[in-house]
Structure formats: C-alpha cells, structure tokens
Structure 1
Amino acid sequence: MRIDLHTHSTASDGTDTPAELVRNAAAAGLDVVALTDHDTVAGHAEAAAALPAGLTLVTGAELSCRLNGISLHMLAYLFDPAEPELARERELVRDDRVPRAQAMVGKLRDLGVPISWEQVLRIAGDGSVGRPHIAEAMVEEGVIETVSDAFTEEWIAGDGRAYVSKHELDPFDALRLIKGAGGVAVFAHPLAAKRGQCVPESAIADLAAAGLDGVEADHADHDPRTRERLHGLAADLGLLATGSSDYHGSRKPLALGDFTTAPEVYAEIAARGSGATPVTG
C-alpha cells in the first residue's frame, strides 16, 4: 500500500489541477493521496469528483505558522472545512497573500529583477498566489535556473533580501483550531534546514505536549541522518512519523510517492480524524 500525505495543486502553488493530481497519483501507483494546498480547501471538491477507482483521497491543508520569528508549516488532515474559526484564519492568510506577493515583486524590481506583477498573476492562474509563482517568474526572466534557486538569502527565503512576512498562525493556536475542527495535525518538514531556520527540537516536544499528532520525517528536504533523527524523536515523544513527496507538479523536482507513509500510521490518522472522512474512488 503506497500512501503520500502531502501534495499541492493549482488551488495553491502546484501545477496540476486537483483532477489532474488525483489521476496522476493513481498512475503513479498510489493507493492513498492527501491534497494539502496552502491555507485552502478550494481543490477538494474537484479532486473528489475526479477520483479514480481504487484511489483514496485524504482532504487536508498546509497551514502557515510562525513561532518566535521562525516560519513553519502544519499539515492538517480530515478537519471540518466549514468549522468557522479555522475557516476564518485560513481566509486571513489567503487575503494577505496578494499584498505580500506584490511587495516582494517590488523589492525584487528594486534589486534589478525584471519581473512584473502581471507576470506573477499569469503564472498563478486561479491558484492562491505565493512565492513559487514569483520564483517561476524569475526563472522565465533568466535570473535563476530553477524555482528552488529563489529560496535563498539572496532572494525570497525567509531571511532573504526580498522576503516579506505574512499573516501566520501561532502553531499552538493552529493545533487548537485543527483539533477543534476534528482534524489531525502533523508538523511538515520540521528540520528542513535548507529552507531556513528551524524551530528547536524542544519546541517540537512542546507542540507534542499540546496535542501535535505527528511529524513529517521522510521528506526530500531531510537528509538520511535527519530522517533517522526524526523517527527517533517521534518515538520518544509518542508522535506518528509520516512520509510524503510534497509534490508540486512540474514546479519542483519531486515525484508523487517519492516518500510514503506506513499503512499503520495512515490508519491511525484516519481513525483520529473526526471532521471529515477519507473519500474512496
């Protein structure tokens, strides 16, 4: 059984539509796929309607958080999308994306990068505009070679010259909201140092004490030693350890199923979620 619990569609910053994503997941030999677009559930209905026979869809979202000035992401699974408090926070984050992205484009132009806001909007299409769309515009203009090259101190990483902060949840508030909506919370790529500063392991322990369900241990941005360390930390803290591709379509060199979650861990996530149920094709 092959299970991938972290993917993105055109509802946020992926390049596959939700329907394309589930079809591609089935073609990649997955049995279970989670759609976890950034701060939105806009792609869930389309993905569910297009679900191929034999594939199970786990509904979710990747929530933007910040702790002591450090950005982090929380994967929320099987929550009630209509729960008003969590829905309101997702809306606040989404509403902040446009002025934030516009400000980053302005900073980049001041640094001599010849991209335009209209160009970024074209790349984003119907999705929620974000940094990957800005990075793709930079690739189009030949400023950088790959989207990943934009996420550095030189450009739009968390400590980069053109970075602009956004509305983000306190992760402890995020846990409360996810749990209040019947969901399951997993800390996404918690020790991905290549993305910028990471929270200390003591903070993961504090989040575990506050109700965190798991950590995403197996991820492309964790080297083998880090993956091993996170599996050990999960065992020490009584957390689930998941694995996922963090697929974004053609925008990043990640394939569906590059990393997967053990069936028994997925079964526990499905059992804990009470705000929604997995959808089977």
Structure 2
Amino acid sequence: MRIDLHTHSTASDGTDTPAELVLRAAAEGLDVVALTDHDTTRGHAEALGALPEGLTLVTGAELSCRWNGISMHMLAYLFDPEEPDLLAERELVRDDRVPRAHAMIAKLRELGVPITWEQVARIAGEGSVGRPHIASALVELGVVDSVSDAFTPQWLADGGRAYVEKHETDPFEAIRLVKAAGGVTVFAHPAASKRGRTVPESAIADLAAAGLDGIEADHMDHDAATRARLRGLARELGLLATGSSDYHGSRKTCVLGEYTTDPEVYGEITRRATGAFPVPGTGGDRGTTGGRRSL
C-alpha cells in the first residue's frame, strides 16, 4: 500500500489542478494521497469530483506557522473545514499573502529585478499567492536557474534580501485549532535546513506535549542521517513518523510517491481524526460522507 500524505495543487502553489493531481497519483500507483494546499481547502471539491476508483483522498491543508521567529509548516489532516475558529485563522493567513507578495516584489525591484505583480499573479492563477510563485517569476526572468535557487539568503529565504514576513499562526495555537476541528497534526519537514532556520528538538518536544501527533521524517529535504534521527526522535516523544513527497508538480523536482507513509501510521491518523473521513474513489462525484464532513 503506497501512501503519500503531502501534495499541492493549483489551489495554492502546485502546477497540477486538483483533478490532475488525483489522476496522476492513481497513475503513479498510489493507493492514498493527501491534498494539503497552503492554508486552504479550496481544491478538495474538485479533487473529490475527479477521484478515480482505487485511490483514497485524505483532505487536509498545510498551515503556515511561526515559532520564535522561525517559519514552520504544520500539516493538518481530516479536520472539519467549516469549524469557524480554524477557518477564520486560515483566512487571516491567506488574506495577508497578497500584500506580502506586493512588498516582496517591491524589494526585488529595488534590487534591480524587473519583476511585476502582473507576472506573479499570472503564475499564481487562482491559487493562493506565495513565495514559490515569486520564485517561478525569477526563473522566468533568468535571475535564477530553478525555484530552489530562489530560496537563498540572496533572494527569498527567511531573512533574505527580498524576504517579507506574513501573518503566521503560533504552532501551539494551530495544534489547538486543528484538534478542536477534529483533525490530526504533523510537523512538516522539520529539519529542512536549506529552507532557513529550523526549530530545535526541544521545541518539538514541547509541541508533542501540547498534542502534536507526528513529524514528517521521510522527505526530500532530509538526508538519510536526518531521517534516521527524526525517526528516533519520534519514538522518543511518542510521535507518529510520516513520509511524503511534498509534490508541487513541475515547480519542484520531487515526484509523487517519492517518500511514503507506513500503512500502520496512516491507520492511526485516520483513527485519531473525528472531523472528516478519508474518501475512497469511485470515479464519480462525491460530496460528503455519512457522519463526518469530507470537505
């Protein structure tokens, strides 16, 4: 059983539509895929409508958080998307993305880069605008060779020359909100140091004590030694250890199913969730499932 619990679509900063993503996941031989766009659940309905037989969709989101000035991401699975407090917080984060993007564009122009809001908006399309869209614009302009090359101190990395902070949720509050909405929380790529500063293991222990369910150990930004260390930390703290591709379509080099989650860990995630069910594909349009919301 192949399970990938971290992917993105055009609802945020991926390049596949939600429908294309689930069809591609099935073609790649996945049995379960989670759609975890940044701070939004807008792509879930389309993904469910296109969900092919044999593939199960886990609804979720990747929440933008900040701990002591360090940016971090929290994967939230199978929560009720209409729970008002969590919905309000997601909207607050999303609403801050546009002014932040304008400010980053202004900084880049001051640095001599001929980037425009119109270019970034075209790249973002209907998705929630973010740094990857600005990075893609830098690639188009020939400023950098790849999206990853834009996430350096020279350009868009945390604290970089063109970096601008946005509203991000306190991770302890994120855990509380997701739990209240019936969901499960996993700290995404916690040791991805090339993205910027990472939170210390002592903070992960504090998050575990506050109800964090797991950490994403197997990820393209973790080398073998780091993956082993994170799995040991998960055992020590009683956390689930997941694996995921963090697929973004053509915007990044990762491929669907590059890293996967153990079926027993996936089963525990679904057992802990009370906000939504995983939805098995039937090839037809699905709206809600009995008892709990699927969107």
TM range (shorter): over 0.9
Matched with 2:98 is 98
Q: Distance in 2 between matches of 1:150 and 1:31?
A: 33
Matched with 1:34 is 34
Q: Distance in 2 between matches of 1:5 and 1:18?
A: 14
> SS at the partner of 2:101?
helix
> SS at the partner of 2:127?
coil
Write the deviation string for residues 222-266 of structure 1: whole angstroms up to 9, x where unpaired.
010000000000000000000000000000001000000000000
Matched with 2:232 is 232
Unaligned runs of 5+ in 1: none
> SS at the partner of 1:198?
coil
> SS at the partner of 1:167?
coil
> Aligned residues, how many?
281
Tell me whether 1:111 sits opposite 2:117 in the alignment: no
Deviant stretches of 4+, over 6 Å = none
5 Å matches for 1:110-259?
Answer: 110-259=110-259
> SS at the partner of 2:174?
helix
Q: Distance in 2 between matches of 1:220 and 1:278?
A: 25
Tell me whether 1:88 sits opposite 2:91 in the alignment: no
Shift of residue 159, structure 1, vs aligned partner: 1.5
Q: Distance in 2 between matches of 1:51 and 1:258?
A: 21
Please tell me the residue identity of whatever aligns with 1:65. Answer: C
> SS at the partner of 1:250?
helix
Unaligned runs of 5+ in 2: 282-295
Matched with 2:15 is 15
Tell me whether 1:278 sits opposite 2:275 in the alignment: no
> SS at the partner of 1:215?
strand
Shift of residue 76, structure 1, vs aligned partner: 0.2
Q: Distance in 1 between matches of 2:108 and 2:131?
A: 12
Write the deviation string for residues 69-127 of structure 1: whole angstroms up to 9, x where unpaired.
00000000000000000000000000000000010000001001111110000000010
Query: Could you state the TM-score of these two structures normalised by the residue count of structure 1?
Result: 1.00
Please tell me the residue identity of whatever aligns with 1:261. Answer: T
Matched with 1:69 is 69
Q: Distance in 2 between matches of 1:59 and 1:178?
A: 13
Shift of residue 269, structure 1, vs aligned partner: 0.3
Please tell me the residue identity of whatever aligns with 2:33. Answer: V
Q: Distance in 2 between matches of 1:205 and 1:143?
A: 40
Please tell me the residue identity of whatever aligns with 1:60. Answer: G
Identity value in percent: 77
Q: Distance in 2 between matches of 1:51 and 1:223?
A: 33
Write the deviation string for residues 43-86 of structure 1: whole angstroms up to 9, x where unpaired.
00000110000000000000000010000000000000000000
CA RMSD of aligned residues (A): 0.4
Q: Distance in 2 between matches of 1:138 and 1:192?
A: 22
Query: Could you state the TM-score of these two structures normalised by the residue count of structure 2?
Result: 0.95
